[in-house]
Structure 1
């Protein structure tokens, strides 16, 4: 295939039959959901005081999307999301590499890990507010704590899943520790880390919005609370839709990045073949 052909945008006609069918089903599912929401609210099955007509919510969503204040709130939420996710990744991945490479280190840390892992991040909000106040640092701390654990265990599993034959072969060829890590361990752990990042991105967004709802840090969560306090359910639901779309967009972005980075992996090749 020529470079010119590869550079062409992927249009509806160029999609494979299975791809067109999947896309059509997704669009139909969204359309049916929107129509059902409109029918339920217009039909009076839900109290109009707390559940305004879906059409009004869509109109309010369009107004918000065209204004700068919404994007400012999205940026505030994403700043805490990104900083917390980056901090959690920077701490979890190296720790997972060490624990996955050494059974002794893993056994030493296992009790502490099993004690801290079940602690809900929301339960740490009073402590975080006491230490960091009600600013951005509290959001970063809670997000980093929440994403640390899935990333840690995904990294540990990835390191421990290295093929022993590949390890022995690399050792037989005289590769040093760093060379074995770069050529054998890291490629084996990368798919696990990528999956952990994709899962953690959703967890990070949930914690960022939750912190804004509870603590009042600027962002989408606080905007939702302000709309609710002002007795404006239409705007409140529109903002909730924004958070859902934001989570969907982030997950789609991580899935796309995962497919590109791990194109060499057999699982991704099998997925593309389908």
Structure 2
């Protein structure tokens, strides 16, 4: 009788690794401070007036916050982002399930999907303005046209990655299709779907800001365009900073939601060890 070896548990957590490698919050804050210091030094040593320094952007950002001008554009951008992401998720999940479950549908639509997803969403700006003007509808059209594809493709790949033994077992026992999708396909493809939604969330924000900047539609992008045309460069960089912070917060939120909701998934259990 041979002895059975058991691997020792991996007790090193992500936070422990961060401390060992020096990538915790103090290191991150120090790196950001170094970047700001280099930026300030480069502006002071370079041509004044071409790019504002952090010491000029900070008061402009404080004015935007204190004057109450921050809330309206942020809410407008978030509204377009959230509505576009919801529509893209509904369309992408439904279409991805169909393409993943049906090999015939995937073969018939492969060329069409590959063709449509390569069209730049900003190329649809004239069509969006023609249909919806400079309102939120134009932003939604651009957001949905770009954010649907990551969700659709990830959902289809997730369906293909479902355990084939479990799929054959369901077919052998003649489990109804909607039960198979609900209790086998969706849980099996959940990790792929979550990744697609997280990518689509970032894409949705980028397209929302781009639409507001180009069309221009109401939101942070419009404020960037207006301050740039008015020559108020510190205020323009302040709004760019707001857009960057918003993107970081959205990415962090979706990453935490993914880890919390998919704690049961093997991929996330391995990451947590």
Question: Are residue 24 (structure 1) and residue 23 (structure 2) matched?
Answer: no
Trace 1:89-100 onto structure 2 (pairs within 5 A): 89-100=89-100
Give the aligned partner of residue 222 of structure 1: 222
Q: CA deviation at 1:62?
A: 2.5
Q: Please state whether the residue corresponding to 2:217 is helix, strand or coil.
A: coil
Gaps of 5+ in 2: 1-13
In the alignment, what sits opposite 2:158?
158
Identify the match of residue 39 of structure 1 among 38, 41, 49.
41
In structure 2, distance between residues paired with 1:31 and 1:53? 13
TM-score with structure 1 length normalisation?
Answer: 0.89
- Count matched residues: 257
Aligned to 2:271: 271
Matched, 1:63 2:69: no
CA deviations 1:66-115 (Å, max 9, x no partner) are 33211111111111111111111111110100011001011111121122
Separation in 2, partners of 1:205, 1:169:
42
TM alignment of 1:126-165, pairs within 5 A:
126-165=126-165
Give CA-to-partner distance per residue, 1:50-78, whole Å, 9 cap, x none: 21221111222233233321111111111
Tell me the equivalent position of 1:9: none
Match of 2:208 in 1: 208
Deviations 1:24-50 (Å, cap 9, x if unpaired)? Answer: 3222221221221122122x22x3222
**Distance (Å, rounded) in 2 between the aligned partners of 1:163 and 1:195:** 19
- 1:183 is displaced (CA, Å) by 2.1
- Once the two structures are TM-superposed, the CA of residue 180 in structure 1 deviates from its matched residue by 2.0
Separation in structure 1 between the aligned mates of residue 65 and residue 16 of structure 2, nearest angstrom: 34
The yes-or-no answer on 1:177 pairing with 2:200 is no
* Distance in structure 1 (CA, Å) of the matches to 2:26 and 2:167: 46
* 1:186 alignment counterpart: 186
Gaps of 5+ in 1: 1-14
Give 3-state SS (helix, strand or coil) of 1:68's partner.
Answer: coil
Instruction: State the match for 1:109 in structure 2.
Output: 109
SS class of match (1:69): coil
Report the RMSD for the aligned CA atoms in angstroms. Answer: 1.6
SS of the equivalent of 2:69 reads helix
User: Partners in 1 of 2:170 and 2:30 — Cα distance?
Assistant: 51
In the alignment, the residues of structure 1 paired with residue 197 and residue 66 of structure 2 have an alpha-carbon distance, to the nearest angstrom, of: 31
Moved more, 67-76 or 97-106: 67-76
Paired residues of 1:41 and 1:54 also in contact (CA < 8 A): no
Distance across 1 between alignment mates of 2:247 and 2:113: 28
After superposing the two structures, state which structure 1 stretch, 192-201 or 17-26, moved more.
17-26
How many Å separate the matches in 1 of 2:136 and 2:212? 10
- TM-aligned CA deviation for residue 16 of structure 1: 4.8
How has the CA–CA distance of structure 1 residues 172 and 189 changed in structure 2, closer, same or farther, with 3 Å as cutoff? same
